């Protein structure tokens, strides 16, 4: 109904983009915790109701922001070398965390997920469910080509990589650097130096 006629196509709306950009900037400058819907609305020159019209909660808004800041397409590349692919993927993620507020935002989303059921769903169904296959694909390729043993618990390994990233993001966010990507791959997946 809001899409059809009364209001222009949503994704192209200037308002919509102003909100997203304000959300990014405020998360960057003030941090996720201090970024309230109220402030985003004021910063974007938009009524609060306009935000609530499109997103049920701060978590939902920032889930979309995260997807925009760390787009799936920029992470995966299948070169046939799983170890390299995986390491590159992690490095790309960490780079986004350094260059954008995406890291803070993910940490904030994890925090929000414990405060509201809807936020937990947003995290689980979008970010987790949407990105886990990326890791699994690489790990499966590795198992198929023999660089990972047949019986490897790829799901758990994938979750462990995510868990490690979250853990560092939550308490030691500065540790997510390139060499950490190498260490993670070496310790959790392929065991040993390349």
Partner DNA sequence: TGGTAATCGAGACGGTACGTCCCGTCTTAAG
Partner DNA sequence: CTTAAGACGGGACGTACCGTCTCGATTACCA
Interacting residue ranges for DNA, rule: CB under 7 A: 1-2, 4-12, 15-16, 34, 36-39, 42, 45-50, 52-54, 57-58, 116
Q: Which two tokens stand for residue 157?
A: 């390994």
DSSP3 helix / strand / coil % (the chain, rounded to 5): 75, 0, 25
Q: Between residues 43 and 96, which has the closer beta carbon with respect to DNA? A: 43
Q: Between residues 11 and 80, which has the closer beta carbon with respect to DNA? A: 11
What CA–CA distance (Å, rounded) separates 53 from 2? 10
Minimal distance, residue 134 CB to DNA, in Å: 30
Buried b (16+ CB within 10 A) or exposed e, 48-78: eebbeeebebbbbbbbbbbeebbeeeebbee
Minimal distance, residue 170 CB to its own copies, in Å: 6
What CA–CA distance (Å, rounded) separates 64 from 60? 7
Minimal distance, residue 128 CB to DNA, in Å: 21
Per-residue binding letters, 135-154, with its own copies (x by CB under 8 A): --------------x-xxx-
DSSP readout, 110-170? HHHHTT-HHHHHHIIIIIIHHHHHHHHHHHHHHHHTTSS-TT--HHHHHHHHHHHHHHHHH
Per-residue binding letters, 97-136, with its own copies (x by CB under 8 A): ----------xx-xxxxxxx---x--xx---x--------
Q: How many residues touch its own copies (CB under 8 A)?
A: 41
Q: Between residues 44 and 123, which has the closer beta carbon with respect to its own copies? A: 123
143 burial via Cβ count (<10 Å: 0-12, 13-18, 19+): middle
End-to-end CA distance of the chain: 55
Should residue 8 be labelled a site residue for its own copies when binding is judged by CB under 8 A?
A: no
Q: Between residues 52 and 166, which has the closer beta carbon with respect to DNA? A: 52
Should residue 71 be labelled a site residue for its own copies when binding is judged by CB under 8 A?
A: no
Q: Between residues 47 and 133, which has the closer beta carbon with respect to DNA? A: 47
| Footprint of its own copies (CB under 8 A) | 32-33, 107-108, 110-116, 120, 123-124, 128, 149, 151-153, 156-157, 159-160, 162-168, 170-172, 183-184, 186-188, 191-193
């Amino acid at each position: 109904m809001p899409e059809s006629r009364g209001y222009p196509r949503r994704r192209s709306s200037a308002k919509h983009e102003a909100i997203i950009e304000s959300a990014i900037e405020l998360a960057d400058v003030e941090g996720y915790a201090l970024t309230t819907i109220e402030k985003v609305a004021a910063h974007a020159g938009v009524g609060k109701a306009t935000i609530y019209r499109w997103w049920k909660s701060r978590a939902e808004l920032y889930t979309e922001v995260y997807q925009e800041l760390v787009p799936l397409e920029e992470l995966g590349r299948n070169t046939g070398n799983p170890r390299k692919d995986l390491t590159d993927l992690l490095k790309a993620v960490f780079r986004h965390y350094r260059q954008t507020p995406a890291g803070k935002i993910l940490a904030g989303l994890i925090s929000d997920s414990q405060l509201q059921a809807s936020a937990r769903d947003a995290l689980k169904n979008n970010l987790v469910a949407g990105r886990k296959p990326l890791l699994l694909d690489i790990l499966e390729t590795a198992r198929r080509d023999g660089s990972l043993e047949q019986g490897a618990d790829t799901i758990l390994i994938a979750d462990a990589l995510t868990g490690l990233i979250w853990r560092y993001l939550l308490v030691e966010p500065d540790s997510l650097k390139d060499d950490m990507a190498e260490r993670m791959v070496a310790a959790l997946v392929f065991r040993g130096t390349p």
